[in-house]
Amino acid sequence: MRGTSFRTLIQALAMGATLALAGGAQAQGYPSEPINYVIPFNPGGESDVSARFQQAVFEQVAGVKTVIQYMPGAGGAKGWSKLNSMPGDGYTMMGINLPHAILQPMQKDVGYKTEDLVSVHYFHYTPDAIFVQKDSPIKTLGDLIEQARKTPGAVTFSGSSSYSSNHLAQARLDELAGIKTTYIPFSGTGPAIAAVLGKQTVAGFNFATSAIAHADSMRMLAVATEQRMPAFPDVPTFRELGYDLVGGAYRGLAVPSSTPEDARRKLSAIISGINAEPEFRKKMEDGGFVLIDIDYEKMPAFMAAKQKEYGELADKLGIKPR
Amino acid sequence: MEFLGSFSGAFTSFNLLIALAGVTLGLVIGALPGLSATLAVAVLVPFTFTMAPASGLIALGAVYMGAIAGGSFSAILINTPGTPSSIATTFDGYPMAQRGDGGLAITLAVLASTIGGVVGVVALWGLAPPLADVALAFGPPEYFWLAVLGLTLISALSAGNTLKGLIGAAIGLLLSTVGVAVVGGDVRYTLDTQVLLGGIDITSALIGFYCVPVVLDLVATRAPHLKLPGNGGYRIAHAVRIMLAGKLNLLRSSAIGTLVGILPGAGGSIAGLIAYAEARRASKYPERFGKGEPDGLIATETSNNATVGGGFIPTLVLGIPGTPPDAIILGALLVQGIRTGPSLFDPQGDGAIYTFMAGLMIAALLVLPVGLLIGRYAYRAILSIPKPLLVPSLAFLTIIGSFAIHSDPSDTQMMLALGVAAWLLQKAGFSPSPIVLGLVLGQIAEQGFVQAYLIGSAQNDLPGMFFGRPISLVILAVVVLTLAYPLVVKWFKSRQAGRLSEIGEILAHEGQPEQKPFRDTPAIVFGGLFAILGILAWLEARDMSAMGSVFPTTLSLVWVSLSLALVARQAFKPKAPRATPDGSERPSTPRRVLLVAVMTAWAVLMPVLGFFVSSLAAFLSITAIASFERMSPRTLVVNLVSGIVIVGAFYMLMSQALGLRMPEGIGF
């Protein structure tokens, strides 16, 4: 009897082993075995999707596979607060996002400090953008701002969670345009977009990446990049329209602080290598991601600049630096 | 694309093999608590990158389909939902297994899963673009009312003591607010620890609430886990007769499952709960629900497999995932270069989507033979494994299951703490199901409420927001019907009996036919404790933002009042006389205490000693605790070898097949 249940197990194991061995040859030295890639968010969001894109070419560049796992909670803070207690042998890395990782510790005790996290590379950002459902009477950013002037507070924006990039962008637009709008936080980009499509809110402050899947059903009014995005040549930037709003969610990789220097550099080089793959580049840019390469060397300057920038913005959101 | 053409596309030997392997793997993973459909799909995604898009999708869809069906096995056999979708399966499935009808329950679950799965795929195939609009019509107020509808199950789940059920639900709802709030960003009830920052993980809570009490009761007596079946085997003919008698139930539950699956942010657990509630309301014998009523099991298992097809509808048409596994599949689609949208269903397209849907249909049908086979093996295994091996195996399942969710030992510690608390509460008459109900529905209720409140305030039309939208009103009507129906029936009956009775009196006695005449001392102790905790929770809520404090404030006040009502009701009853021993075996408290001690050490030492070393040590210790006879040298060897094989096999499954990073510590 024990034999039969055991047989089921063996079958499951055999299947798993075949799958695991399908990987093929492994390179010498570091890295020599699969690297764990922890996403501190739920699957299906931008962080997960971009990690999946990277996973598809990871082995080609690094010589080993990467295994994606999820540790969602507290808008990323659950994972980041645990990062430094994870093994620092170079085989665990975790996605890290800005402004989250800077704003969260500023606002409250979330179990980590921004300075404690070791970022090795920032590889892209998804610009904030305003969307309306395609049948909306609002055709331009001007229409939207005019409506907000007429009825202060009545224009509602859906966005992904509180104190996020979307939330920050909404607060900045309010300030720059001298209007008052209402931000409605949702549990992620998916539900926030559903709210725009279902006309639950007047508009959405989401990421430009959402324009790809919903090109036929939503209108992008403006995007928070410096120049127009290649994927959306017809969509004006906020700057063109007179509002100095550039920003979005930056995504990168962090490692436990016990990870040795050469492993940090190697991981940064791997990510740069992935970003340089022409096919990967094209897929990401078509998807509305703006690729950047802030490698390990450039990290201190980048983080210092971002901490200053978000620190000033935090005041406007009403977050008191602790 | 022709109907037959797409089927022939799916019928390549590779696609058939993929579907078969996927369903098999899914059924096994789904049956292991903690190893959920989401985890199975997440692990498999990279292997689909090298396949043709349609084959890759079939593999993922088949695993998903199998896992949701497999979740019923552990729900029936060990009272622990294998995936959150099978929560309501435990209500009737486990009582059936306990009384010796486990084989029938498994056959029913597999049949129901197959039918639900097929209906979901048919809806996906024929109605995807129009049904996707349902997802969009559901706004925050609708989600709020949907959660309220789910909460009406409290009265059903606490038959005998509605007050305790309500207290349990308040606890669950409050637990759901722990962590960083999505709306408002408040940090709530974390007791200044990092562990609680992300909130209480539902999967680890399920394992704790349902499985730990089973293990604790199992270790305390010699009695077998399940009653041996009088008539064994599949009992397929019997099962088919039951299914045919409940055609309407099948239809209703499939429809509920498909529709709830379409709603992003709802998912299989809620579909199962709502289908269960509706089946009970429509049943001629609502009082049998919760005591092993096949219709309850059928409703849940039909609806949760229907969410698979339903969930693909918004995923494929809108690019918005319907359920968590869909979210991962959506990522895989994007990497494959498949653009979601109504054009995907364009008959002039390349037809990959039709090949996928045909493959998913095949997977839904394969659940029947493969499910019956695996389900029977699982049932026999649970029946025949001797107690000294069954107890450590189940304890091991709780530990690995809670660890596997996020490869996080703190989830395991949380699981154990909640499990021991659930056992104590259960002994005092607070059943775990209302708590789980609150925990599962709390976030949906709160987010829906606060978002609706914000939007309603912005539009200056709060009443219209909550009571002026057609879908909201329909759900609200069902809520009222569900609550009022039993009262109306009773009132009618009492009128017929010629005895006019006040509705209020009926309300007071609803669901409490057997009021104990004597004082319930544990209830007084817990009631007092809850009142104090509730006041503390209320005090902490005063420091939260307006958005973040609405729910905690309301809930803590409700909790305090209900708890005080419980205390007041019990305090004036006469003391119970000392119970006289009735000759049956007395549960062994030392064994329970020892088991909790070993499991605590296990959860704490796992990161220090390493997963394999700590698990083997704990497994063998628990074998000793669960042995009621002196072990012969032969049994000793058998147990030792079994322990090594079981722990080793799962270690390999987790670290090699699933690629999880296991805690190493000083061992491995």
Q: Measure the N-to-C terminal CA separation of chain A; round to a whole number of Å.
A: 62
pLDDT-derived band of residue B516, with 50, 70 and 90 as boundaries? low
* Pairwise pLDDT comparison (B10 vs B223), residue with the higher score: B223
Average pLDDT, integer, range B431-459 = 93
Q: With beta carbons under 8 A apart, name residues in chain B contacting A191.
A: 264-265, 320
| b/e A253-268 (16+ beta carbons within 10 angstroms → b) | bbbbeebeeebbebbb
Single-letter amino acid code for the residue at B4: L
Return the minimum-mean-pLDDT range out of A291-305, A308-322, B108-122, B467-481: A308-322
Q: Which two tokens stand for residue B518?
A: 């004597």
Closest CA to B326 of B103, B37, B130: B37
Cα R_g (chain B), whole angstroms: 25
- d(Cα B359, Cα B351) in Å, to the nearest integer? 12
Other Cβ atoms within 10 Å of B186 Cβ, number: 22
Report how far residue B233's alpha carbon sits from residue B229's, in angstroms, rounded to the nearest whole number.
9
Q: By percentage, how much of chain A surpasses pLDDT 70?
A: 90
At B644 the pLDDT is 94
| Mean pLDDT across A150-158 | 95
- Rounded to whole angstroms, how far apart are CA atoms B277 and B76? 18
Give the DSSP letter string of B188-218: ES-TT-STTTT---HHHHHIIIIIHHHHHHH
Q: What percent of chain B has pLDDT over 90?
A: 56
Nearest to A19 among B47, B334, B380 (CB): B47
Query: What is the ipTM for the molecules in this complex?
Result: 0.85
The model's pLDDT over B238-285, given as tens digits with 9 standing for 90+, comes to 899 999 998 999 999 999 999 999 998 787 889 999 999 999 988 888
CA B493/CA B487 separation, integer angstroms = 10
**Helix and strand counts by DSSP (H, E) for chain A:** 11, 10
Q: How far is B543 from chain A (nearest CA, A)?
A: 13
pLDDT confidence bin for B668, thresholds 50/70/90: confident
Q: Which two tokens stand for residue A132?
A: 């309306």
| B194 to A34: CB separation less than 8 angstroms, yes or no | no
Write phi, then psi, for A291 (nearest 5 degrees). Answer: -75, 135
Q: Return the pLDDT at A26.
A: 34
Interior CA angle at B630 toward B629 and B631, to 5°?
Answer: 105
Cα–Cα distance list, A38 to A250, A260, A268, B69, B169 (Å): 16, 19, 16, 28, 33
> How far apart are the C-alpha atoms of A216 and B634, rounded to whole Å?
71
Q: Residue B620 half-sphere exposure, CB side, CA atoms within 13 Å?
A: 15
Determine the 3-state secondary structure of A247 from DSSP.
coil
State both tokens at B201. 């993980």
Residue B82, helix vs strand vs coil: coil
Q: How far A147 CA lies from chain B's nearest CA (Å)?
A: 13
The answer, yes or no, to whether residue B373 has pLDDT greater than 90, is: yes
More confident residue, A2 or B516: B516
Dist CA B646 CA B353 (whole Å) = 41
| Minimal-distance CA residue of chain A relative to B264 | A191
Which of A1, A6, A7, A8 is most worth mutating to test chain B (most B CB atoms within 10 A of its CB)? A8
Q: What is the percent of chain B where pLDDT is above 70?
A: 93
- pLDDT (tens digit per residue) in B93-148: 999 999 989 999 999 999 999 999 999 999 999 898 888 888 899 999 999 999 99
At residue B522 the predicted structure's pLDDT band, cuts being 50, 70 and 90, is confident
Instruction: Tell me which of A20-29, B51-60, B510-519, B602-611 is least confident.
Output: A20-29
CB contact under 8 A, B198 and A111: no
Report whether pLDDT(B160) > 80.
Answer: no
Identify all chain A residues contacting B21, using CB atoms and an 8 Å cutoff. Answer: 15
Query: Which own/partner contact pairs does B346-351 have at CB distance under 8 Å and 24+ positions apart?
Result: B347/B1, B349/B1, B351/B1, B351/B5, B351/B6, B351/B9
- Separation of alpha carbons B154 and B165, rounded Å: 6
Q: Which residues of B touch A6 (CB under 8 A)?
A: 645, 649
How many other CB atoms sit within 10 Å of the CB of residue B426? 15
The confidence score (pLDDT) of residue B10 equals 67
User: In angstroms, what separates the C-alpha of A132 from chain B's closest C-alpha?
Assistant: 14
Q: What's the rounded Cα separation, in Å, for the pair B327 and B333?
A: 10
What is the rounded radius of gyration, in angstroms, for the C-alpha atoms of chain A? 21
Average pLDDT, chain A: 88
List chain B residues with CB under 8 Å of A17.
656-657
pLDDT 10s digits, B50-87? 888 889 999 999 999 999 999 999 999 999 999 999 99
- Cross-chain CB nearest to A185 (options B182, B328, B335): B182
The stretches of B318-461 forming alpha helices (DSSP H) are 324-336, 352-384, 387-404, 409-427, 432-458
With cut-offs at 50, 70 and 90, classify the pLDDT of residue B11: confident
User: In this predicted model, what pLDDT tens digit does every residue of A53-92 receive, in sequence order?
Assistant: 999 999 999 999 999 989 888 889 999 999 999 989 999 9
- Pairwise CB contact (< 8 Å): A200 & B332: no
Judged by average pLDDT, the poorest of A128-137, A279-288, B361-370 is: A279-288
A87 and B49 within 8 Å at the Cβ level: the answer is no
Q: Are strands A118-133 and A290-294 parallel, antiparallel or unpaired?
A: antiparallel
- Mean pLDDT of all residues belonging to chain B: 88
As a whole number of angstroms, the distance between CA A249 and CA A49 comes to 14
Q: Which residue of B has its CA nearest to A100?
A: B185
pLDDT tens-digit readout, B523-535? 899 999 999 999 9
What is the CA angle A270-A273-A274, rounded to 5? 90
Of A8, A65, A199, the CB nearest to B374: A8
Among B282, B256, B283, smallest CA distance to B270 is for B256
Give the integer Cα–Cα distance in Å for B534 and B527. 10
Q: Is the pLDDT of residue B481 over 60?
A: yes
Bridge pairing between strands A118-133 and A218-223: antiparallel
Q: Which chain B positions have a beta carbon within 8 Å of A206's beta carbon?
A: none
Rounded to 5 degrees, φ, ψ at A243 are -120, 120
Q: How far apart are CA A100 and CA A122, in angstroms?
A: 14
Residue B7, pLDDT score? 64
Check residue B232 and give its pLDDT: 61
Burial environment of residue B129 by CB neighbours within 10 A (0 to 12, 13 to 18, 19 or more): middle
Q: How far is B334 from chain A (nearest CA, A)?
A: 8
Whether residue A162 and residue B192 make contact (CB cut-off 8 A), yes or no, is no
Residue B492 has pLDDT above 80, yes or no: no
Q: Tell me the CB-side half-sphere exposure of residue B479, using CA atoms within 13 A.
A: 17
How far apart are the CA of B178 and the nearest CA of chain A, in angstroms? 10
8 Å CB contact of A4 and B377? yes
Nearest CA distance, A258 vs chain B (angstrom): 15
Q: Lowest-pLDDT range, B302-306, B614-618, B654-658? A: B654-658
CA distance B535 to B547: 20
* A16–chain B nearest CA distance, Å: 4
Question: Which chain A residues have a beta carbon less than 8 Å from that of B466?
Answer: none
- Report CA-CA distances (Å) from B182 to A94, A162, A181, A206, A283: 21, 6, 19, 16, 31
> CA–CA separation, B495 vs B624, rounded Å?
60
Q: What is the pLDDT of residues B163-202, one digit of tens each?
A: 999 999 999 999 999 998 888 888 899 888 888 888 898 9
Max alpha carbon distance in chain B (Å)? 79
Say if residue A25's pLDDT is above 60.
no
Q: What is the mean pLDDT of residues A242-259?
A: 95
Q: SS3 helix, strand, coil % of chain A, rounded to 5?
A: 45, 20, 35
